[in-house]
Structure 1
Amino acid sequence: MTYYHVSFENPLTFYLQIQLMVEVPAEASEPLALQLPAWRPGRYELQNFAQKIQRVEVSDAETDESLPYRKVTKDRWEIPGAAGRSVRVRYNFYAHQMDAGGSWLDETQLYLNPVQALMYAEGHQYEPCQLSLVLPPDWRLACGLSQSQPNVLEANNFDQLADAPLIASPTIQHEQYEAGGLPFHVWAQGEEALINWPRLLADFKAFSEEQLTLFGGFPVADYHFLNQFLPYKHYHGVEHHNSTVITLGPAELLMHEALYKELLGVSCHELFHTWNIKAIRPAEMQPYDYARENYFRTCYIAEGITTYYGDYLLTRSHVRTPAQYLEELNGVLRKHYDDAGGQNLSLTDASMDLWLDGYKPGVPDRKVSVYHKGALAALLLDLTIRQLHGHARSLDDVMRRLYDDFGKTGLGYTDEDYARIVSEVAGRKMQVYFDKFINGIAPLQEPLDKALHTVGCQLVAYENASASEGTFGFRTVVKNERTEVTYIWPSSPAAAVLTVDDEIVAINGRRVDMNLHSLLSTGASRYEVAVFRQNRLVLVELPAQPSAAFGVRYTVEKLADADEAQKAGFQKWLGWEFESQIQTN
């Protein structure tokens, strides 16, 4: 067994004191290697947690003799001569990152993501682990791991320990509900959060039961929603083995419509991950390799399908209405069509490139979001399967097959496995779908509109009301009273004469001062634009030629003349009558 011990002397420094102790067999011939994870499951980029480590010390636990060690990579240490010894490693960890993937220490709480802070001894990571915490006597501990003693957590292996975040605090709130005969715990850290617990628990129970029904079982015995409700604006969630951490704020607005819908959406999304990525795991991550990138081509399944279901199931479970669902779906459409990246990178390549720059804005028009396009591709697939089988089959059946064949067995799936199951559920070859929309960059508008018609909806294109965007093809932001170009649509009129970071100072001799739209809406055939470019004044001529791509905004709306078959399809898809206009929140 590997033993971990976590304590803190002065929470105002944000430093945790961490100890690791491991028994090294006498016959060990190689140095003992200690590895700190370089990334965390749920965010597929190297994060180099070792930059938070201070003052590593290694000793024999029985004699307290100091042992020599050597750092061999940015996050790996080797200890020669460890054979036959009880090795103790001590170091400090800086816990000062408040988001759903971070760790935080202050006088009010300890919040720890073990994957950031705990080294593992190579060759021992599959052994049981025990984590002991030294906490003030009035603090309460929230974690998905079992406690063998007060503040002592047990894990089957390092993988389970690393995937079990915890919050310890004297003020943490706790409620629970039951779904499918299983306990679900809701923990809330944040004194400002005024929670309507009956409403929250009823909504959580509804979407939890909908997910359990979809999959026909649950991979874990219980579940924990670990919430950090913050006094400032924030939004983040991360999935774990039998828990999630959600950081959301401002806390005092939690039960207001705008923020509460975010809480519902992220909570439903993260719970779905318990099946889709935690149990149904890509072959490339069986097991996780914490020391380097784990490249995989299927994040459009892990995140795209989960993004689709995260909002969709809230409606199917009657927590949200169809109108509210379409509003969220239209938000996904806006984000997908916000730039031209979808013209240049496929979903499978975007999955690989998460490790490159998937979580950063990146260079213009290079990439596509596995979350947003992945969700739209999932919607298209769901409606296509439903159309082929009169709603007797759907994407639900694909997910159940993935769970039965891979989630329950512990086998990893490949993109070929997914394509095969999709074709088997659809009852026909779906290679065109994969060639065009998963492995290719074909536009989604026409097939998505056609599929939406089968459920009484349509994809509607509206002209962009912004003159700079809809007519000329460029987007601006005002910073310190400066109007700066932030994005230019390829092949638009603006692309020929403007560049990103240009400061627009005048249009046809008129100063630009929060009036860009009106100055570009006079009906002229061309405009003289004065810009500062790299601190030099430049005059350019901008022709008024509407940009077809950037000038369009897409929304999903109900058909005004939907027939009975389309209305029935709507009901079978969303679980609501077509005419329903009820607003529940």
Structure 2
Amino acid sequence: MKWTLSLRLWPLWTPLVAEPLRYTIAWETPPRYTYQVRLQCRPNAGRYTVVALPAWRPGRYILQNYAGAVSHFAAYDEAGRPLPWRKITKDSWQIENPRQGLLQVEYRFYARQLDAGSSYLSPELVYFNPINLLMYVVGRLEEPCELELPSLPEGWAVATALPRKGPRKFVATDYHHLVDSPFLIAPFLRSDRLDCEGVTLHVHFWGRVGVRNLQPFLQDLCRLFQVQKRIWGHVPLKEYHFLYLLVPFSMRHAVEHAYSAMFVLPEEGAADETALRSFLGISAHELFHLWNVKRLRPAALWPYRYDREVYTSLHWFTEGVTDYYTSLSLLRAGLMEPSEYWQRLSAELTQIENTPAYALFSPAELSIDSWLAPSSYRPALYQGSFYAAGKRVGFLLDMSLRRETQGRVTLDSLLRYLYRRYYLRGKGLPEAALEQAAVRLGGPALKDFFERYVWGREAPDYEALLAGLPLRVEVTQKPYSGWGRVGILRYRAESEGLRIEEIAPGSAAEKSGLETGDLLLTVGGRPAKDLTPAFWDSLAEGAQLQLSWTRDGFPLEATIPLRSAWQKHIWIEPIEDDFLKSY
């Protein structure tokens, strides 16, 4: 049966040329949280045309299976006559081609997830990432596309980097371009812009914004852009959009795009000009992606394939090195004090050194394993991040290049070399190319660096790696305080006790038999959830601890002596002002 709802939503179709692929997204309430989508195109050659919805999106390397939100799928010929079809995989549909004319596909998409890579619909906000919503014609990702929004109310504000062709129509060079362009649509958006180094920077805010003047924030973004432009030596665009969706709860999520970045952030961060500066770090990270991963990206992602996992060992580079340059961009732009920069870097390195996963998996392995992140079989002990692993590698690689070349080559130099050799020549970055380029620019010692710290799992010897550089390096052992004394590093309070999320290897907690996922009930007969860090700090070394907990509903207990858990502590800071000037 033909989808009767479409009779109220869609305008009468006029004859269209075969190109481009024409998409329409419409909405109304009710049904709540539901987009109505239509695709019109010429059929593929042969008997069938297959359409599919992406299973994942660039920037989030797990299967998200957007097809789970699809209902009311139907297909028609140009005259509106139903066409036979079958669903052939979880996210693809095979349609029998019409005898003549164009093919039309219609379906609904339920949109009630709110993060920087999702889609959401309410009476006050139309927000969508096209990669969630729009099916592609298999084999035709490179064809030009148009998107029409017939439900767009007159006078509503629209924020997107996608070029506009009319009041409700937008155009894209191909499917990749189309789905890489998020939309914020509302009765009112707080927007402003600034010309910066020949590029127009746009900011768009939805939600409560207490800031009266956005220009100082734009000027800070311009400083970041100038710093990053100098790193890469090339600007591939004329306009860039920052889209900020503000929410009344704690959330920090962002997704990079080729011509924009999408953020979901707490509205308290936009309460005034001072608070708004808290958005600069996450903005610097996504801005750096303008070059790293959106242009210079692994060959495995060139071009994108949306129907399956796509494996690369380079996520530590695309995300972790980007994270390294996040704080470094703030430092170089004068938006972070040097003392704060080195304190943060030292704290992050300390945390990595005391997290077991980074001794179990190399940065390359963590990159491949991104697709395992949602697995219920992956224990907390294995939960490492290629962001953190890559940030450590990025810093040490930068320092190693400087040491081996007496400062002539830096990580900046390596990025520019790769960008010119691969992106500007229209090619993706091969898996081995990064190491090869580092060895070419920095010498044979860099091959050993990659074997140990990128492909291998070796713990860095900071004093040896940073020897000869004007840096003070201290590697010490310090006892944990609070809950860390017993070895409980992370926990989550629940009604009956504390759910253990991370335990220090070799600690009293581990020796007692306590494991991540256990529910700690009592310590010395006292409810665990009532104990403060001060309780643990007050205990004498060797004090007897009686612990009780449950695991999968079964009661367990143990009595052990308290032996304080120790952590490796990293402290790094420059000892010469000239180093800061060149850094």
> TM-score w.r.t. structure 2 length?
0.90
Partner of 1:469: 484
CA 1:484 to 1:123, structure 2 compared with 1: closer, same or farther past 3 Å? closer
Q: CA deviation at 1:558?
A: 3.2
Partner of 2:3: none
Q: Percent identity?
A: 27
Give the letter for the 1:407 counterpart.
Answer: Y
Partner of 1:514: 531
Cα shift readout 1:269-322 (whole Å, capped 9, x = no counterpart): 111111111111211111111111111111111001100001111111112221
SS at match of 2:242: strand
Partner of 1:386: 402
1:159 and 1:479 map into 2 onto residues whose CA distance is 44
SS at match of 1:371: helix
Cα shift readout 1:459-504 (whole Å, capped 9, x = no counterpart): 4546244254245566544333624433222333322323234444
Q: How do 1:167-566 residues align onto structure 2 when only pairs under 5 Å count?
A: 167-194=184-211, 196-251=213-268, 253-255=270-272, 260-333=276-349, 335-337=351-353, 339-357=355-373, 362-444=378-460, 446-447=461-462, 450-451=465-466, 454-461=469-476, 463-470=478-485, 472=487, 475-480=490-495, 482-500=497-515, 501-508=517-524, 512=528, 513-515=530-532, 517-518=534-535, 521-534=538-551, 537-547=555-565, 551-552=566-567, 554-558=569-573, 562=575, 566=576
1:484 and 1:169 map into 2 onto residues whose CA distance is 41
CA 1:359 to 1:405, structure 2 compared with 1: closer, same or farther past 3 Å? farther
Kept in 2: contact 1:146–1:153 (CA 8 A): yes
Cα shift readout 1:358-393 (whole Å, capped 9, x = no counterpart): 799941322531101100110011112122333332
Q: CA deviation at 1:335?
A: 4.4
Cα shift readout 1:503-540 (whole Å, capped 9, x = no counterpart): 44444455643246525743252514130324555442
Q: CA deviation at 1:354?
A: 0.4
Q: CA deviation at 1:34?
A: 0.3
Q: How do 1:92-241 residues align onto structure 2 when only pairs under 5 Å count?
A: 92-134=108-150, 135-194=152-211, 196-241=213-258
Kept in 2: contact 1:507–1:520 (CA 8 A): no
Partner of 1:576: none
SS at match of 1:412: coil
Q: Does 1:8 align with 2:27?
A: yes
1:11 and 1:202 map into 2 onto residues whose CA distance is 42
Q: CA deviation at 1:456?
A: 3.1
Kept in 1: contact 2:21–2:146 (CA 8 A): yes
Kept in 2: contact 1:108–1:170 (CA 8 A): yes
Cα shift readout 1:429-482 (whole Å, capped 9, x = no counterpart): 4111111110011112x2267528724343454624425424556654433362
Q: CA deviation at 1:260?
A: 3.8
CA 1:505 to 1:350, structure 2 compared with 1: closer, same or farther past 3 Å? closer
2:256 and 2:269 map into 1 onto residues whose CA distance is 25
Q: Does 1:60 align with 2:95?
A: no
Q: CA deviation at 1:414?
A: 1.6
2:155 and 2:376 map into 1 onto residues whose CA distance is 41
Kept in 2: contact 1:129–1:157 (CA 8 A): yes
Cα shift readout 1:70-99 (whole Å, capped 9, x = no counterpart): 000010000123364301111111121211
2:502 and 2:112 map into 1 onto residues whose CA distance is 34
1:21 counterpart (34, 40, 43): 40
Give the letter for the 1:201 counterpart.
Answer: L
SS at match of 2:41: strand
Kept in 2: contact 1:55–1:91 (CA 8 A): yes
SS at match of 1:264: helix
Alignment length (residue pairs): 560
> TM-score w.r.t. structure 1 length?
0.89
Give the letter for the 1:569 counterpart.
Answer: F
Q: CA deviation at 1:174?
A: 1.5
2:375 and 2:333 map into 1 onto residues whose CA distance is 31
CA 1:471 to 1:507, structure 2 compared with 1: closer, same or farther past 3 Å? closer
2:69 and 2:526 map into 1 onto residues whose CA distance is 52
**5+ residue gaps in structure 1?**
574-585
Kept in 2: contact 1:17–1:93 (CA 8 A): yes
Q: RMSD of the alignment, in Å?
A: 2.5
Kept in 2: contact 1:58–1:66 (CA 8 A): yes
1:166 and 1:226 map into 2 onto residues whose CA distance is 9
Q: Does 1:572 align with 2:568?
A: no
